[in-house]
Amino acid sequence: MRSVLPYFNLGQTIFLIHNTCISENDIIWAKQYAAENGLQLVFCLCVNANLYIENKVPPIDLLLKHNCQIVLGTDSYSSNWQLSIAKEIESIQKHFPHLELATILHWATQSGARALRWDDRLGSFEKGKQPGLTLLDLENGNSTRIA
Looking at every residue in the chain, the average pLDDT score rounds to 87
Kindly report, residue by residue over 5-34, the tens digit of the pLDDT: 999 988 999 999 999 999 999 999 999 999
Burial class of residue 142, CB neighbours in 10 A (0-12, 13-18, 19+): exposed
Burial 104-115 (b: 16+ CB within 10 A, else e): bebbbbbbbbbb
Contact 113, 123 (CB under 8 A): yes
Q: Looking at the domain that runs over 5-145, which CATH code has it been given? A: 3.20.20.140
